[in-house]
Amino acid sequence: MQNLTATMLQFDPSRSSRSLFAGNASVWRNMADALQQSLNRILSLLIAILPGILAFLVALAIFTLIGMALSALLRLGLTAAKFDEHIARRHGGSEWAPPTSPTVLIARVFFWGNILLGLIIGVSAFDASYATATTLPSSLLPCLTRVVEAAVLLIAGTLIARFLARSVLIGAVNEQLQYARFLSLGIKWLVLVLTAAMVLEHLQIGGNIVGMAFGILFGGIVLTLALAVGLGSRDLVSRSLESHAEHSSVSSAAPSTTSPDDSVRHF
């Protein structure tokens, strides 16, 4: 208690404020230094990769121009040679034929092929400058690649889900199944869930949790569908069995009996 009183008596306010001010100035100076160093690092990084970016853009521009020129030349040449008519004569009935004409298709393939080539060369040039820029986080490009691949997976999965959902819906409606929409939605979500799990797995997000969650969700959807279809169509199945039994007994008694619908011949 005596020591505390002595200390309080020795306290000098002017000296204390001076030391606090000096401490603040030191913090500001340190912060400014840190910002300065960070800015310098980023600027030097940009200067280091700027040639790579420029090389990427120049390569892309040059190959785009080459692609446009090649595409135009091909269009002219193939049109003059009546390539479309020749192909139509030989393969006109193909179900999987593309909607555009073969000439346009070939021209587009060459155009986009050139752009792809430009991209590859540009990325190689960028990669060379990237290797010299050691301060860039080493996982940036692989991460970007994974993101692009995941996006492709997502698009493909969504397209497949929509295609399968429509196929099931139309097929089920034409079979006159009352739960056609439910079945279609089930298939769509099964594929979407599978796609989402694949995308997350590819992005290495979530680790084992994704796999487990996917298994549980997938199993849940299948079980729900099975229960819904099984319970929902119980009456249908029993009616079908009854009518089959009745039909068998009637046909054994009078084989020539036909229903009114049998008389309709569509072709």
Partner 1 sequence: MATADSIPDPPTPCAPPGNGLLILLAAMTPEQLESVVANLTASFPNEELLVATPDALLPNAYPSLRIVTAPASNSAWTLTAAEFVSAYQLAQKHEARAILMLGSESGSLGSSALHELASAVLDHADLALPCYEPSSHAGLINSAILYPLTRALFASRVRYPLAVDLGLSLRMAKCLADAAQRFTAINQGETPLWPVNEATVAGFAIDQFDVGPSIQPAAPELNTILPLLIGPLFSDIKAKAAFWQRFRPLPPARKAMPVPPAPTADTATDITPMLSAFRLAYSNLHEIWSLVLPPNSLLMLKRLAATDGAAFRLSDSLWARIVYDFLLAYRLRTINRGHLLGALIPLYLAWVASHFNIIASGSDPEGHIEAVAAAFETEKTYMVSRWRWPDRFNP
**Residue ranges binding partner 1 (CB under 8 A):** 85, 88-95, 99, 163, 166-167, 169-171, 173-176, 178, 180-181, 260-261, 263-267
- 54 φ/ψ angles, rounded to the nearest 5 degrees: -65, -45
Q: Of 68 and 88, which CB lies nearer to partner 1 in the complex structure?
A: 88
Least distance to partner 1 from the beta carbon of 247, Å? Answer: 16
Q: Of 137 and 260, which CB lies nearer to partner 1 in the complex structure?
A: 260
Least distance to partner 1 from the beta carbon of 193, Å? Answer: 22
Q: Of 12 and 175, which CB lies nearer to partner 1 in the complex structure?
A: 175
Q: Of 249 and 263, which CB lies nearer to partner 1 in the complex structure?
A: 263
Alpha carbon distances (Å) from 41 to 45, 128, 134, 135, 141: 6, 19, 11, 8, 19
3-class SS string, 96-111: CCCCCCHHHHHHHHHH
User: Closest Cα partner for 129 from 43, 49, 59, 60?
Assistant: 49
**In contact, 186 and 225? CB cutoff 8 Å:** yes
Least distance to partner 1 from the beta carbon of 156, Å? Answer: 16
Least distance to partner 1 from the beta carbon of 79, Å? Answer: 10
Integer-rounded Cα Rg, in Å, for the chain is 36
Least distance to partner 1 from the beta carbon of 101, Å? Answer: 9
Distance between CA 199 and CA 153 in Å, rounded? 7
Q: Of 98 and 142, which CB lies nearer to partner 1 in the complex structure?
A: 98
**In contact, 50 and 128? CB cutoff 8 Å:** no
Q: Of 78 and 199, which CB lies nearer to partner 1 in the complex structure?
A: 78
Least distance to partner 1 from the beta carbon of 264, Å? Answer: 5
Distance between CA 193 and CA 209 in Å, rounded? 14
